[in-house]
Structure 1
Amino acid sequence: MLKNVFSPIKVGSKEAINRFVVPAMVVNYCNEDGTATEKYISYHEAKAKGGWGTIITEDYAVTPKGKGFTGIPGLWDDSQIEGHSKLTERVHQYDSLIIAQIYHAGRQTNHLVINDQPVAPSPIPCPVNQETPHELETEEVKELVAKFGDSALRAKKAGFDGVEIHGGHGYLIAQFMSLYSNKRTDEYGGSLHNRMRFPLEIIEDVKKKAGDDFTIFFRMSGDELVPGGRNIEDTKAMSILLEDAGVDVLNISAGTYGSMHGIIPPAAIEHGWITDFAAEVKKVVDIPVITVGRINDPLLAESVIKSGKADLVAMGRASLADPDLPKKALAGDFDEIVQCIGCLQGCVGKILEAKPAQCVLNPALGREAEIELNPAAEKKKVFVAGGGPAGLEAAIKASERGHEVHLYEKEDKLGGQFYLASVPPEKGEITSFIAWQKKQLKKNKVNIHLNTKLSQKIIDSEEPDTVILATGSKPIEMNIEGMEQAQLVNAHNVLDGNVSTGAKVAVIGGGLIGSETANHLANHGKDVTIIEMLSDIAVDEPASVRKFLLEELADKDVKILTDSKVKEFKEEELIVLKDDQEKSLGKFDTIVVAIGLKSVIDLEDSLEGKTEIIKIGDAVKPRKVLEAIYEGFDAGLAI
């Protein structure tokens, strides 16, 4: 079934065992001086163990002033070679190739990271970082060319199988290649040939220093997705020049910081959305081409290869969610694969907070060196109260370690609020993780009690050694004057299908739950108005996710009223306060309340002092699913 994606392929002077590629992704696991940590090495080693044919590391800065993030690796100094040699040694214990991506952030950094002014081909600020860069002098450009070559030589000495020159995503090389950011009139600006001079000189310098047999990948955006940026026809013309210069593999992506959704597409973007860019490039070159972009299933990868659109498939966030994806696919264990859901909470959200990357679905990410799933020294009877994501994860891990686990869920299905989160548009992939968790529960013989709320009576009768409270949270109820006149329902009941709404709906609360519920209703033909006390809605969503949510709400003519507080229902009309002025919004068929959540902890007090208690997830405090799953994972390991 997967014969194409599991076939070997020649990449320069090396051969990859299959077509699965881990592309470069910032994870911030290195020291600030660019040296490797055990965290960084173990993270890549896990992917090699998992069967990925080619692993491309995140950005190795060619100079400390070229860093875009504090925790990325570097090869700007010989002292960095030794630590990164340990990385290549560990990866080469398996059959994977490991390629060092070398780059300079250019204007896509800031003084907080590099303690200096960013540099660029022209003094035009990055639309995200908003710092005016220093315009590189011609001699400074030539100095940077040499730094790329020097870094490539260090990569070779460190044992890497090649380098990937990062000419995409709006970083320095891409800035030179694009009229969007390059307004120079010297030999490095103006015509396409002049704008390509910088990357072509870098390739020449790399080959001169590292040798003609050292494999060179080149990453570039097929379309920058910004006004005045490069499009696919520009990219095809440049690809011909790159192949002629000696590049062995082209890696075709999309976007710049000004179009971040192109670099890291959220769930709202369709699978394989830019495979046609790679297909177009393949028409004009004879070297292998890599595609990328929301490809999270090995069958999708096989389809792309079989259709001839690309030669290799990069599956970045898929490798974060499950580093063993190729190995599981080869064994035919498709329902064992943890599939990326495009939520961006950990892989992007944490990086934007200048923290190490995490993955909602893989709590072991970045902790591979720390976590050992050893059998429990003492087997215990463990009760888990709550079948949401935290409770399910705790039950899985505890049972894997040999404990007798009983999971109690008061509803008739598992998944909790994570299941409800799958109901709005573009969130359906969440169900794949719940299905995966349910399979693990069955495989590990967890005793599941649906329609059963864990009570003191059950605990007194069964005498568990440990109780994990994963009782979650419940909606905060609204209490305002005249509410008995309105048909009030909470967002949870709307999403789980327990209630139907009328044609005209007001959603009170524009946070994550309220905004997503409004989108769900609008996509099902309802006339929706969102009322939010704050000055904006969906502020707790990652930026790329929020962008598409707001676009959908606008497309469905959802009315959004911010800085507004519901005051009362008067003669069945909804009255709000905005700018200290009362305003009637008229009558609504249904009022959906989504004003927040509060923890459910009614069992805790009765257990105090009687048994070991571990409280996790929203039972501690209502937060996001990332915290819930991580706490469940850790609780299962702690018993």
Structure 2
Amino acid sequence: MTIKTQGKIGNINLKNRMIMAPVKTAFGNIGGTITDKQIRFYDQVSSGGISMVILEPIAVQKNGREHPKQMCLDNECIDGITRVIDVIHKNGSLVCAHFNHAGRAANPKLTPNIVSSSESICPSTGAKSNSLNKSEIDDIIKSFGEKVKIASGVGFDAVEIQFGHGYLVSQFISERINKRTDDYGGSPENRMRFGLRIAEVVLENKGKMSVIARISGSEFVDGGLNPDNQFEFLNKLIDMGIDAIHVGWGNACDNPAWYYNHMSLPQDIQFDLLKKVRQNIKTPLIVVGRMSQIENVNRIFNENLADFVSMGRQMVIDPEYPNKIMNDRIEDIKFCGACLQGCLVNVKNGTGIGCVVNPFVAEPPIEKAEISKKAIVIGGGPAGLISSIVLRKRGHNVKLYEKEKTLGGQFYLASIPNPKKMMLKPLLGLIREAEISGVDINTGINVLKEKLKEENPDIVVVATGAMPNFIKFKGIENQWHISGNEALIRNDIKDKRVLVVGGGMIGLEVAEKLCEDDNDVTLVEILPELASDMEPITKKLILKHLEKMKFNYMVKTAIQEFREDGVIVKANNDKIKNLGRYDVVVFAVGTHPENELYEEIKNDFKEVVLVGDASRPSNAYTVTKMAYEMTKKL
């Protein structure tokens, strides 16, 4: 058995061992009806050879929703759902519905009555849940059966039920959360009752559909669910007729970092736990959690740890992943970096799922230009690379020039700290995409106006990035000081006392790298909060990592001057303090556009466009999306 081998789950045959996991998209309308953008998204992800697409979660009751745009299966949603099913089937893939009730993990802005097995607070939302009464339990169980029956009638091939990840069913199974004293609490048998009753109505109403149970292999929480305390429940599900177990990780309330499988988390522990599940569960296993990384794929099938690999974000960054696997084009895959910046952040803010290196997510195909033109892109960071790819899709002849010997710009720098090394993979994939598309890439060349006049292009895209800011504090000229970018590149700053000025995203990443190099780091931030510009899960993990190192920080604190006897700061309470001498001062106080070349040439060529940080410094997702929007009509 390999990832290319055909497989079987229940009575459905799968053309390979790759399945798309359910990912929230936030592309729907408020209330959950389907949009054209959603249709395009599912058209994209099902056209690249995936065997089956598990749709984004559908809440069986409105008080179990996590997002205002969450997909629904009510009467007003049926026509849209049918369109989704039809487009996926047209592309040769099967379709699976995913049903859930979030319980205490539901969005408190959407329902005034958050419910769970018992009264409790969901740490990730801060919402307090009420204990379900038996009548409400019966209604939820009935809703699962009704939704499954509708799914069978509209053409789904399979149905997946969420039994894990800190959602409602697991809130009953968990002794840590379930404090009931009736038939649904106390003993393991009672705590399993709710989930087993749901399984019963699902199997009664499934029609010809296969049934998958989604679980957490481990919640990674003290006293939480793990393989050992779930085996009895899982084997009961299998005895009842469940066709496969889908193993994920984490808990939406207590451990979202593992739930979303962040790039910095270790993976060996997942394999150890998966091995234990494999030894005790005799039914097809599906596994998710950065498992599409090729080294993980090889391990899974070489060691027979699972029957299918499931992937969500990987299908967002590169919908052609399955076809590339099937055709031995591993080197052409854009691998996900599990950064959460383009996907989770944009789902939470409601703009819709995206990717830092794939601005084409759910967008219409790029139209060919009427006339093929000569284009030059200056700058080989993400914005320049995306601009080059878009221009090639338009049919233009494209040369890209980068003054450094390596491509990637600040995106490359962001991948230097150990916990973020996985971010190098999407960058390398983006570079490979530019190469495959036919971009003529030239590195180590600083393009000036004279060079451009010599080449005389029709289109010039300036993506020259941004330069770090420095602050001219009194006395700073007598102190060795460098930029955050330089601090990330250098490997000779070790065993030093370092002051980092600025506690935004870059400041924290620089501090982490310097601490890993055995430096004693102090960070000073004038604002009341560190890294307000950072994806929250990443921020929490970095701060947790820094707690174990020689690191301290001060917020609401302003540097006054650098003196011979030390650095003078003023705290929020107007207290003046001398922090002592530092060997190195690192400035991480933002950047400013490097757009001098643009200003010099903007009137000299037919079409000159400024994109990325050279236009407006921002995060990777924003600059690549800007590059796409600015170049798709050139």
TM-score tier by shorter-chain length is over 0.9
> Per the alignment, in what secondary structure is the counterpart of residue 555 of structure 1?
coil
CA distance in 2, matches of 1:59, 1:300: 26
The equivalent residue for 2:66 is: 68
The equivalent residue for 2:582 is: 588
Does the CA-based 8 Å contact 2:67-2:107 persist in structure 1? no
CA distance in 1, matches of 2:469, 2:130: 52
Does the CA-based 8 Å contact 2:495-2:517 persist in structure 1? no
The match for 2:99 among 74, 99, 102 is 102
* Letter matched to residue 25 of structure 2: V
CA distance in 1, matches of 2:91, 2:308: 19
> Per the alignment, in what secondary structure is the counterpart of residue 262 of structure 1?
helix
The match for 2:513 among 517, 520, 530 is 520
The equivalent residue for 1:341 is: 337
The equivalent residue for 2:454 is: 461
1:234-253 to structure 2, matched below 5 A, reads 234-253=229-248
Q: Which is further off, 197-206 or 456-465?
A: 456-465
* Letter matched to residue 491 of structure 1: G
Does the CA-based 8 Å contact 2:493-2:517 persist in structure 1? no
The match for 1:537 among 530, 538, 541 is 530
Does the CA-based 8 Å contact 1:386-1:470 persist in structure 2? yes
The equivalent residue for 2:82 is: 85
1:88-487 to structure 2, matched below 5 A, reads 88-114=85-111, 116-211=112-207, 213-256=208-251, 257-271=253-267, 273-367=269-363, 370=364, 372-487=365-480
Deviation at 1:499, TM superposition (A): 7.1
Q: Which is further off, 532-541 or 157-166?
A: 532-541
CA distance in 2, matches of 1:78, 1:272: 45
Does the CA-based 8 Å contact 2:108-2:125 persist in structure 1? no
Cα-to-partner distance string for 1:539-567 (whole Å, 9 max, x where unaligned): 32222212221122121221222222111
CA distance in 1, matches of 2:221, 2:482: 42
Deviation at 1:89, TM superposition (A): 1.9
Distance 1:352 1:442, change over 3 A: closer
CA distance in 2, matches of 1:445, 1:89: 34
Distance 1:313 1:480, change over 3 A: same
Which runs of no fewer than 5 residues in structure 2 stay unpaired? Answer: none
The match for 1:50 among 29, 33, 48 is 48
CA distance in 2, matches of 1:275, 1:100: 27
Q: Which is further off, 85-94 or 583-592?
A: 85-94
Does the CA-based 8 Å contact 1:572-1:587 persist in structure 2? yes
The match for 2:600 among 606, 615, 620 is 606
CA distance in 2, matches of 1:259, 1:498: 34
Does the CA-based 8 Å contact 1:350-1:357 persist in structure 2? yes
> Per the alignment, in what secondary structure is the counterpart of residue 113 of structure 1?
coil
The equivalent residue for 2:32 is: 34
CA distance in 2, matches of 1:394, 1:83: 34
CA distance in 2, matches of 1:268, 1:514: 18
CA distance in 1, matches of 2:430, 2:11: 42
Cα RMSD, aligned residues only: 2.0
CA distance in 2, matches of 1:78, 1:455: 61
The match for 1:488 among 460, 481, 494 is 481
Does the CA-based 8 Å contact 1:493-1:499 persist in structure 2? no
The match for 2:611 among 595, 598, 616 is 616
Aligned residues: 631
Distance 1:510 1:19, change over 3 A: same
CA distance in 1, matches of 2:348, 2:25: 11
CA distance in 1, matches of 2:419, 2:323: 28
The equivalent residue for 1:547 is: 540
Deviation at 1:156, TM superposition (A): 0.7
Does the CA-based 8 Å contact 2:51-2:94 persist in structure 1? yes
* Letter matched to residue 24 of structure 1: P
> Per the alignment, in what secondary structure is the counterpart of residue 117 of structure 1?
coil
Does the CA-based 8 Å contact 2:258-2:265 persist in structure 1? no
> Per the alignment, in what secondary structure is the counterpart of residue 283 of structure 1?
helix
Cα-to-partner distance string for 1:152-185 (whole Å, 9 max, x where unaligned): 0111111111211111111212212212322211
CA distance in 2, matches of 1:593, 1:270: 31
Deviation at 1:272, TM superposition (A): 6.2
CA distance in 1, matches of 2:437, 2:80: 39
CA distance in 2, matches of 1:194, 1:147: 21
Which runs of no fewer than 5 residues in structure 1 stay unpaired? Answer: none
Does the CA-based 8 Å contact 1:99-1:160 persist in structure 2? yes
Does the CA-based 8 Å contact 2:494-2:518 persist in structure 1? no
Does the CA-based 8 Å contact 1:275-1:291 persist in structure 2? no
* Letter matched to residue 557 of structure 1: K
Does the CA-based 8 Å contact 1:486-1:572 persist in structure 2? no
Does the CA-based 8 Å contact 1:412-1:451 persist in structure 2? yes
CA distance in 1, matches of 2:305, 2:493: 45
Deviation at 1:626, TM superposition (A): 0.7
Does the CA-based 8 Å contact 2:519-2:550 persist in structure 1? no
* Letter matched to residue 411 of structure 1: E
Does the CA-based 8 Å contact 1:468-1:616 persist in structure 2? yes
* Letter matched to residue 380 of structure 1: K
Cα-to-partner distance string for 1:590-627 (whole Å, 9 max, x where unaligned): 11111111111212333344432222111221110111
Distance 1:443 1:99, change over 3 A: closer
Deviation at 1:268, TM superposition (A): 0.5
CA distance in 2, matches of 1:388, 1:91: 34
Distance 1:498 1:142, change over 3 A: closer
* Letter matched to residue 506 of structure 2: I
Q: Which is further off, 569-578 or 195-204?
A: 569-578
- List structure 1 segments (4+ residues) > 6 angstroms apart after TM superposition: none
> Per the alignment, in what secondary structure is the counterpart of residue 145 of structure 1?
helix
> Per the alignment, in what secondary structure is the counterpart of residue 264 of structure 2?
coil
> Per the alignment, in what secondary structure is the counterpart of residue 255 of structure 2?
helix
* Letter matched to residue 103 of structure 1: N
> Per the alignment, in what secondary structure is the counterpart of residue 218 of structure 1?
strand
> Per the alignment, in what secondary structure is the counterpart of residue 188 of structure 1?
coil
CA distance in 1, matches of 2:379, 2:107: 45
Cα-to-partner distance string for 1:306-328 (whole Å, 9 max, x where unaligned): 21222211122111111111100
Cα-to-partner distance string for 1:458-495 (whole Å, 9 max, x where unaligned): 33333322221212111111201111211111111222
Deviation at 1:20, TM superposition (A): 1.2
CA distance in 2, matches of 1:373, 1:513: 34
Does the CA-based 8 Å contact 1:275-1:310 persist in structure 2? no
Does the CA-based 8 Å contact 1:273-1:294 persist in structure 2? no
Does the CA-based 8 Å contact 2:334-2:428 persist in structure 1? no
Q: Which is further off, 217-226 or 105-114?
A: 105-114
